[in-house]
């Protein structure tokens, strides 16, 4: 069945750091995104339990053609999920039927060994040492379509209890039920309990909310919102996002620009770029040009980027030192600035600009192309 194969592919991609769960799910061709996302998240949540059961049962030794990630997804569905009803298991159902008794016996043995009676209790035993499993859900209000006060009022009308601005990270981790907070550091960032699912929420579907990828720690999600906020480009500026997909930071930049100016967004992954175009369109972004291209291969002297803005603070000693080294070709006397992030190549490759890439440029405009308004000079 395509669901299980796609879920296995997403898990493999997350493990190899090709992307986040949400990014890879939306980049897949599977139609029922919510079903796929739920299956991947739950399989990953029970990952160590499934590994123990699969190893004890000798499943991979007996079935040489069964790949580990697919085995994990199938065993989750058999033991912890909805099971294989009717023909839902496809060609994998007979295989799982052959091992069903042994797999169930190993799961029961694991629960006895750990002194628990429910499947959920296995997670509690494993997650006691650390708070990462209780990382809250971070939601950024898209100010291109609404404001933070209106979003808060909407949730309050739905029965949520607004607790005001958090005073510490402990306040965020302590969230429960239908309570939510305003992030202590970042404006327009709402924080909900870890298990809050807003994928079907009307504000998300309408592009009024941007769901941040679920991180391993509270600070990681907050940090993902910092680049655009620290850059703080005024409306009318031209900005570069060097590794743009899946688009959360790009949409944040567009909100700060108020759709006035231009964002040049680069990414090498065509699938992630297509998903990004969908996200930006839903968010109402109209000032972004997407390019399926290696940013490192773009010439800093290209006239298209002559108006890219650099703030005054960028010149102060010690500020953004690593980014300045990485972007040396872009930091000329003309007041250019490059907002880069997540660059895997070493900084030394920037010492000599390379010729523009011959790759096909995918100029995808999300809405009406904006004017080339010159931003403030550095």
247 is in an annotated binding site: yes
* 321-357 confidence digits (pLDDT tens): 334 444 444 444 333 344 433 333 333 333 333 433 4
**Cα of 328 vs its chain's centroid, Å:** 29
pLDDT band at 126 (very low <50, low <70, confident <90, very high): low
327 is in an annotated binding site: no
Are the C-beta atoms of 319 and 260 separated by less than 8 Å? no
CA-based angle 38:42:45, to the nearest 5?
145
Residue closest to 33 by CA, chosen among 198, 199, 197: 199
245 is in an annotated binding site: yes
142 is in an annotated binding site: no
Ordered DSSP codes for 340-369: -----S-GGGGSSPPPPP-SPP--EESSSP
101 is in an annotated binding site: no
* pLDDT on residue 1: 67
Are the C-beta atoms of 295 and 273 separated by less than 8 Å? no
Q: Which residues contact 328 (CB under 8 A, 6 or more apart)?
A: 350, 351
363 is in an annotated binding site: no
267 is in an annotated binding site: yes
- Strand-pairing partners, residue 364, are 290
Average pLDDT of the chain, as a whole number: 78
CA dist., res. 357 & res. 268, Å (int): 11
pLDDT band at 370 (very low <50, low <70, confident <90, very high): very low
Residue 28 tokens, joined:
């897949």
243 is in an annotated binding site: yes
* Global model pTM greater than 0.75: no
Residue 182 tokens, joined:
């305003």
32 is in an annotated binding site: no
């Amino acid at each position: 069945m395509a669901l299980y194969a796609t879920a296995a592919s997403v898990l493999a991609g997350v493990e190899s750091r090709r992307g986040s769960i949400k990014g890879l799910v939306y980049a897949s061709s599977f139609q029922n995104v919510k079903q796929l996302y739920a299956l991947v998240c739950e399989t990953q949540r029970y990952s160590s339990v499934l590994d123990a059961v699969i190893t004890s049962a000798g499943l991979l030794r007996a079935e040489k053609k069964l790949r580990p990630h697919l085995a994990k997804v199938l065993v989750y569905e058999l033991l912890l999920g909805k099971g294989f009803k009717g023909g839902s298991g496809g060609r994998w159902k007979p295989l799982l039927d052959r091992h069903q008794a042994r797999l169930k016996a190993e799961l029961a043995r694991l629960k006895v060994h750990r002194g628990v009676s429910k499947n959920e209790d296995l997670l509690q035993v494993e997650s006691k040492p650390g708070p990462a499993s209780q990382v809250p859900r971070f939601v950024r209000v898209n100010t291109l379509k609404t404001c933070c006060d209106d979003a808060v009022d909407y949730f309050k009308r739905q029965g949520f209890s607004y607790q005001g601005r958090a005073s510490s990270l402990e306040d965020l981790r302590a969230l429960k039920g239908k309570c939510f907070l305003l992030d202590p550091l970042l404006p327009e960032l709402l924080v909900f309990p870890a298990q809050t699912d807003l994928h079907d929420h009307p504000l998300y579907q309408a592009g009024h909310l941007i769901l941040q990828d679920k991180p391993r720690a509270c600070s990681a999600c907050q940090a993902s919102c910092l680049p655009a906020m620290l850059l703080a480009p005024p409306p009318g500026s031209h900005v570069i996002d060097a590794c743009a997909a899946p688009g959360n930071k790009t949409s944040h930049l567009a909100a700060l620009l108020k759709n006035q100016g231009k964002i040049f967004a680069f990414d090498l992954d065509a699938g992630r770029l297509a998903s990004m175009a969908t996200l930006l369109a839903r968010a109402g972004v109209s000032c972004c040009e997407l390019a399926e291209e290696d940013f490192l291969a773009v010439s800093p002297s290209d006239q298209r980027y002559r108006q890219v803005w650099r703030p005054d603070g960028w010149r102060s000693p010690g500020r953004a030192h690593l980014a300045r080294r990485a972007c040396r070709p872009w930091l000329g006397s003309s007041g250019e600035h490059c907002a880069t992030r997540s660059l895997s190549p070493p900084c030394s490759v920037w010492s000599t600009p390379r010729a523009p890439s011959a790759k096909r440029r995918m100029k995808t405009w999300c809405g009406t192309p904006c004017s080339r308004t010159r931003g403030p000079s550095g």
